Structure 1
Amino acid sequence: MISFDFWNYDAHIVEELRRKGMDAHHINIGAYQHESFPARVKNTISKILLKRNLKNELRQEMILKKLNKLGPQDQILVINPELIDREFHFQIKKFTKRYIAYLYDSLARCPAGHLVDMFDEVFSFDKKDAEKNNFKLITNYNYLPEVNEFKPAKYDLIYLGSFDKRIGTLSKITTKIEELNLSYNCVVVGKKTWTKKLVQSTSEITFTRKRIKHRDIPSYYSEGKVLLDLMRDNQTGLSFRFFEAMALKKKVITNNPTITDYDFYRPENILVLKDDLSNLDKSFFEGTYKELPTEVHEKYRMENWVETVFKLK
């Protein structure tokens, strides 16, 4: 598997393959670092003067170096292939019998249309992209075990996300939460969080460059009664929040209307926000969580995802 694994979700795929007895490897291009400070300075100058990102080129060369050491592979999965230039895809494809891709972003956000002909099969979590381009639709996966013991929630609402345009919506929601006399803990992660002063907000949102470690995310979410999910622009696919909430048996508030199309949607568990937030009230927080059938949990487990994508069934 080749991916830019910023939040460390992709690693679960390799772990599951290994659990099944496969000889699986993960080339994480997001983990690549400059060899020295001068190399970092050289790349900065190159980006400014030549509009050329040397780090991206070195990442891709790293992929080929690692594949040369590993040798031929039965299958290679690339997650979000737009991060790799077409010429490198040609080289990578030589190492495998089956070259597949998973798009965990919409084509509108991360254009990869010019690369899809490179792959034997393309999977996408975005329903519109899948229908329009004849991709195989597949959601993200539930990588967590189902909880049976419940701890008292510390906050009414919990949010964790990257620093982007969703901050404006987040600010409006937290303001509404304060008006309802409810509590919240919202953490926004990103390199540009220093620009938080540009965000017109009186809410107590935590901005940080340091992301929460992946292994700590479940315990972070367990502190909330309800998890908040906010869509990115031009994207309708389901984030990992829904599947983490499913495992942790937490309610979700979201502005993604497509959630109502899925079989695990229950209005008692998932509130789809109106644009004016007029349906955001205390009653959703006060209601009880509706348990999902075992077969629904099984359908979205990591094991099923891996068996489907790699045709192991």
Structure 2
Amino acid sequence: MKICVISFDFWGYDEHIVDTLRSKNIEAYHIKLADVTHSNFSERATNAVSKIFLNKNLKTEKRQKFVLDSLEKLGHQDQILVLNPDTFDLSTLEKIQKYSDRLITYLYDSLDRLHVEKEKLKLFDKIFSFDIADVQKYGFEKLTNYIYLPHLCNTKQDQKMDLFYITSYDNKRVAFIKLLTKRLLELSLKFQIIVIGKKGWKHQLKNIFISVPENLHIIFSIKKINHDKLPKFYKNSRALLDLTRENQYGLSFRVFEAMALEKKIITDNEFIKTYDFYNPNNILVLNETCSNLDQSFFEIPYEKIPEEIYYSYTLDCWVSKVFELGNKN
């Protein structure tokens, strides 16, 4: 069987899908759009002028051509999974469709945040979505993100902190972090929060968190932390924080990273209570004032998730479901 995954994969999650397919002796390929960039100043300048005066993004056109050229070399595929359908023109998706017997997409963002036209969605034989609201509204098949990290018992980890969180700058999240930080300091809990933003935001963020001891709890950075280095931070903490974006109802990868490392989760996502792995001893859903956060939550031992439930969220199970591969290998 030949399967191709087409995605940006800025954070390296999608490469795990390809590796899992190959572990099942499937001929799997990955067309990675993040690898396509403007290689020099001249190309970047030309693209900037094109976007301003012609309303045309040459980088987008370059990426779509790269996908079609790659498929031409790879040949016909039994299945193609497109993970960023919003980034493609309708005509490009129609050409991609011709290279496969089965065209699939997985929407790991809500349509409210990343809109995909109906004409594009009609091209797919199967549409999976992590967002509960979109599943109910559009009839997509519900599918969460997945556990990609190896399972590691929390007793084998060096847990020096109570809570860790890393996030990109987001107005909704930052406002909530300020409220939560006050509560964490009241409880004398050890925590670290890393906020990653653009140049010029660092001073603004410091003003927001002026009451927090500098360099002690919150780090402001313009440099991204590589995806594969995050587990090192996670292993140092008893719990991970996960805050939603505006109009987000699905579960982020943070939840599944926590499951793999047997970490407790503190979140503002009420929908997590509807999942079969939900356990109030492991998961705390914050109220609007964070007043329900208490030190006892960190003191109660983590309760292991039943093996059958845990497996249903692994990448092995995810891949089998998406590509209809039958029983696990």
Are 1:70 and 2:78 counterparts? no
Letter paired with 1:201: F
- Scaled by the length of structure 2, the TM-score of the pair is 0.91
Counterpart in the other structure of 2:160:
154
Gap runs ≥5 in structure 1: none
TM-score by length of 1: 0.95
Cα separation, 1, equivalents of 2:220 and 2:37: 24
2:266 paired residue among 253, 256, 268:
253
Query: What letter matches 1:293 in structure 2?
Result: P
Structure-2 separation of matches of 1:87 and 1:146: 42
Tell me the distance in 1 between the aligned counterparts of 2:66 and 2:302.
Answer: 47
Alignment of 1:17-166 (within 5 A): 17-114=21-118, 115-148=120-153, 149-165=155-171, 166=173
Identity across matched positions, percent? 46
Matched, 1:196 2:202: yes
* Equivalent residue number for residue 313 of structure 2: 300
Matched with 2:192 is: 185
1: CA distance between counterparts of 2:200 and 2:252?
A: 25
Distance 1:172 1:56 in 2: 40
Distance across 1 between alignment mates of 2:53 and 2:201 = 25
Could you tell me how far 1:59 is from its partner in structure 2? Answer: 1.1
Q: d(CA) in 2 for partners of 1:65 and 1:208? A: 37
Contact 2:202 2:221 survives alignment (8 Å)? no
How far 1:147 moved relative to its partner? 0.9
Q: How far apart are the structure 1 equivalents of 2:189 and 2:52? A: 46
The 1-side partners of 2:176 and 2:56 are apart by 34
Which residue pairs with 1:221 in the alignment? Answer: 234
Moved more, 230-239 or 39-48: 39-48
- What amino acid is the match of 1:177? L
| 224, 228, 237: which one aligns with 1:211 | 224
> What is the alpha-carbon distance in structure 2 between the residues aligned to residue 281 and residue 44 of structure 1?
51
Cα displacement (A) at 1:22? 0.8
Residues 163 and 193, structure 1, Cα contact 8 Å, conserved in 2: no
Q: What per-residue deviation string (whole Å, max 9, x for no partner) do you get for residues 241-286 of structure 1?
A: 1111111000000000000000000000000000111101212122
The Cα shift of 1:193 comes to: 5.0
CA distance in 2 between counterparts of 1:219 and 1:27 reads: 28
Give the total of aligned pairs: 312
1:193 and 1:207 in contact (8 A); partners too: no
- Residue identity opposite 1:182 in structure 2: L
Q: Displacement, 1:31?
A: 2.3
- Note if 1:2 corresponds to 2:16: no
Once the two structures are overlaid, the 10-residue window that deviates more, 168-177 or 99-108, is: 168-177
The residue matched to 2:146 in structure 1 has which SS? coil
3-state SS of 2:148 partner? coil
The answer to whether the 8 Å contact 2:169/2:196 transfers is: yes
Distance in 2, Cα, partners of 1:227 & 1:5: 23
SS of corresponding position for 2:273: helix
Q: Would the aligned equivalents of 1:180 and 1:281 in 2 still touch at CA under 8 Å?
A: yes
Moved over 6 A (4+): none
The one-character-per-residue Cα deviations of 1:274-300 (angstroms, maximum 9, x if unpaired) are: 011110121212221111111111111
Q: Aligned pair in 2 of structure 1 residues 51, 164: CA closer, same or farther (>3 Å)?
A: farther
Q: Which runs of 5+ in 2 are unaligned?
A: none
Q: Which moved more, 1:124-133 or 1:207-216?
A: 207-216
Q: Which amino acid aligns with 1:258?
A: F
What per-residue deviation string (whole Å, max 9, x for no partner) do you get for residues 151-202 of structure 1? 2312111012222222221222123212221121112234x25323333222
Mapped partners of 2:239, 2:51: distance in 1: 42
Give the deviation of 1:205 after TM superposition: 2.5
- Root-mean-square deviation (Å): 1.5
Q: Are 1:311 and 2:319 an aligned pair? A: no
Task: Give the secondary-structure state (helix, strand or coil) at the position aligned to 2:27.
Answer: coil
Mapped partners of 1:170, 1:269: distance in 2 = 20
